[in-house]
Structure 1
Amino acid sequence: MKIKKVAIIGLGALGILFGARIAQQIGDDLTIIADQKRINNYQKNGVFCNGIPCRFHYKTPEQAEKADLIIFAVKINGLRDAIEVVRPCVGPDTLMLSLLNGITSEAIIGEAFGEENLIWSCAQGMDTLKSGNALTYTNAGMICFGNRADDQPTEKIMRVQEFFDRVGIAYQIDNRMDRKIWSKFMLNVGVNQVVSVYGQNFGSVKKSGKARDLMIAAMAEVIPVAKQEGVALDEADITYWLGVVDALSDTGKPSMRQDVEAKRPSEVAIFSGTVVALGQKHGIKTPVNAMLYDKIMAIEKDYHQFSK
């Protein structure tokens, strides 16, 4: 069954990035699902991608129709609410794809809807900057997707491949997405946190020095933890992600750095918080991530106190 109607929930950086590309090709067959307050904001102030207004079609959950594909682009702390919001859009053949950071979103979505129509996925390689409703980027990156741990091609994967080809979204099919998501998680643990504490942008970790060394050390602590969780990562994964980071714009910033600058709650709990907790579970020391967790929590505490 061909993917025709698509719904996106969440107009953060990735929601705008991929939503703009999809809307250009399928028009009002793409629906942005949001509450009325958010819709009023989007319609009044506009949503922009690299300076171009996004022609999005908005609907509240009550107005929503069944979709062939639902893309989750919210923050992890909003995922469970988003699941309830999109329930009216879910039919027996609706595919679901998550662009969230961390290693838990597929499990949460699968718990709510079952895994039969779940597409395991992650986004990588983009250097987006978001200010208000405006997104800018140099590298659009791509979506990696595939089966959780099955090399056999499946109909649902081919449906998504055909759709991405049709709308012009770059992608990579990986049918060991359980490992890929952990590998991407390792990147986020390093680059997001270190840039948030020790730098201003990707350029700060592309050059040799303390920040880059800490990024690599934080990533390396994920390897033994992942092994105990049944996922085999190694140094080659670090080398791969360093190549991805080095190809990003120097002035680009990871999402956590943008959260810190905007004095928003960060995703530290799903990055170093997860590494430290799993380290404790398995008796593995994770001092770099423990340090980064403490520093980011201190930063958040400071700006929360300042806002009072």
Structure 2
Amino acid sequence: MDIKNVSIIGLGALGILFGQQISERSGSNLTVIADESRIEKYQNQGIFCNGKPCDFHYQTPDDHGIADLILFSVKISGLNDAISSVKSHVGPDTILMSLLNGITSEVIIGAAFGEVNLIWAVAQGMDAVKEANRLQYKNPGMICFGNRNRDEPSEKVARVQRFFNRMGIAYQIDNRMDRKIWSKFMLNVGVNQVVSTFGENYGSVQRPGEPRELMIAAMAEVIPIARKEGVDLNEADITYWLGVVDSLSASGKPSMRQDVEARRPSEVELFSGTILALGKKHDIISPVNAMLYEQIKTLEAGY
């Protein structure tokens, strides 16, 4: 059974970026799920991706229409509401994928719907900047997806692979997605928090200097905690992510920096907040993340 009807919940940077790619290839087979007030705002103001208007089809949570694939692209603070909003769009064969940052969204979605149709995923490598209803990017990145921890791709993974091929979405299949998600989390702990406090864009951590060293140090503090949680990260993971960071547009910004500039609550609890909580659990001190946590909390207190 091939994927035809796709629903997205959350029109942040990733929702717009991948939504536009799917919409251009599949037309009305893409649906954005949102409440009535958001739909009215989207329709009145429009949504633009690299200057082009997005021709999205919208449905409310109360509308019925079973999706073959649902992509979650909200903030972690909105995940529980998003789960409630998509319930009438989930059928027995609906594949569920999360594009959220952090290490918890799959667990939360799996607890709500079961894990039988859950594919673990993470988005990486994009340099998208969203301002109001307009998204700009040079590098669209890709979606890494696969089994949580299994050697052979499942039939559902193959179904998503065929769909991404038709849509022209870059992807990588990784059947140790538990490790991949922790590895991407390590990147976010470094680049998102450091650019939000000691830089303005990716360029500030691409060149030698204190921000880049802080980013590497914050990432390194994830390794011993990940190992205590059963995930074997190492220095090679840091080297890999430095290559990804250095490939991004220097003027691009991580979502956390965009939140700080817009004076919105950030995902600090998702990043250093998680590291400090797990560090307490395992009796591991993480001084760089403790400093970043305080810096970002101070920024937010000044809004």
The TM-score, its normalising length taken from structure 1, stands at 0.98
3-state SS in 2 of match to 1:268: coil
The DSSP-based 3-state class of the residue aligned with 1:290 is helix
Q: Secondary structure at the match of 1:184?
A: helix
Q: CA separation in 2, counterparts of 1:259 and 1:153?
A: 36
Q: Hey, what does 1:32 align to over in structure 2?
A: 32
Q: Show the 5 A alignment for 1:277-288.
A: 277-288=277-288
**Pairs within 5 Å for 1:77-92:** 77-92=77-92
Q: Secondary structure at the match of 1:62?
A: coil
> 1:151 deviation in Å?
1.0
**Equivalent AA in structure 1 for residue 177 of structure 2:** M
Match of 1:248 in 2: 248
Question: Residue 63 of structure 1 aligns to a residue in which SS?
Answer: coil
Structure 1 residue 198 displacement after superposition: 0.1
Contact kept? 1:33, 1:64, Cα under 8 Å: no
The offset of 1:142, in angstroms, is 0.1
Given residue 54 of structure 1, which amino acid in structure 2 is its aligned partner? C
1:62 shift after superposition: 1.3
- Alignment partner, residue 118 of structure 2: 118
Deviation at 1:111, TM superposition (A): 0.2
- Equivalent in the alignment of 2:219: 219
Alignment of 1:7-26 (within 5 A): 7-26=7-26
Tell me the secondary structure at the aligned position of residue 233 of structure 2. coil
Question: What code does the residue aligned with 1:153 have?
Answer: P
Which residue identity lines up with residue 17 of structure 1 in the other structure? L
| SS of residue in 1 equivalent to 2:116 | coil
**How many residues in Structure 1 have an aligned counterpart in Structure 2?**
303
Aligned to 1:48: 48
Question: 2 CA distance for matches of 1:158 and 1:127?
Answer: 27
- What's the counterpart of residue 306 of structure 1? none
CA RMSD of aligned residues (A): 0.4
Provide the secondary structure at the position in 2 that maps to 1:115.
coil
CA distance in 1, matches of 2:35, 2:103: 27
Deviation at 1:64, TM superposition (A): 3.5
Instruction: Output the amino acid matched with 1:218.
Output: A
The 5-angstrom pairing of residues 19-168 of structure 1 reads: 19-168=19-168
Q: CA deviation at 1:29?
A: 0.7
Which deviations, in whole Å up to 9, do the C-alpha atoms of 1:169-225 show, x marking residues without a partner? Answer: 000000000000000000000000000000000000000000000000000000000
Offset, 1:61: 1.1
SS of the equivalent of 2:238 reads helix
Q: Which residue of 2 aligns with 1:259?
A: 259
Structure 1 counterpart SS, 2:252 = coil
Deviating 4+ runs (over 3 angstroms): none
Letter aligned with residue 60 of structure 2: T
The letter of the residue matching 1:18 is F
Cα distance in 1 for residues equivalent to 2:253 and 2:59: 31
Q: Match for residue 171 of structure 1?
A: 171
Q: Distance in 2 between matches of 1:283 and 1:23?
A: 48
List runs of 5+ in structure 2 lacking aligned partners. none
Task: Give distance in 2, aligned partners of 1:153 and 1:78.
Answer: 30
- SS state of the match for residue 116, structure 1? coil
For residue 153 of structure 1, report the CA deviation from its aligned partner: 2.0
Give me the whole-angstrom Cα distance separating, in 1, the residues matched to 2:238 and 2:64: 42
Identity %: 69
1:207 corresponding residue in structure 2? 207
| Structure 1 position 267, deviation (Å) | 0.2
Counterpart CA distance in 2 for 1:277 and 1:43 is 41
How many Å apart are 1:152 and its aligned residue? 1.3
- The separation in 2 between residues aligned to 1:90 and 1:6, in whole angstroms, is 11
User: Aligned partners of 2:175, 2:184: CA distance in 1, in Å?
Assistant: 15
SS in structure 2 at match of 1:70: strand
Distance 2:175 2:128 in 1: 27
CA–CA distance in structure 2, aligned partners of residues 284 and 192 of structure 1 = 22
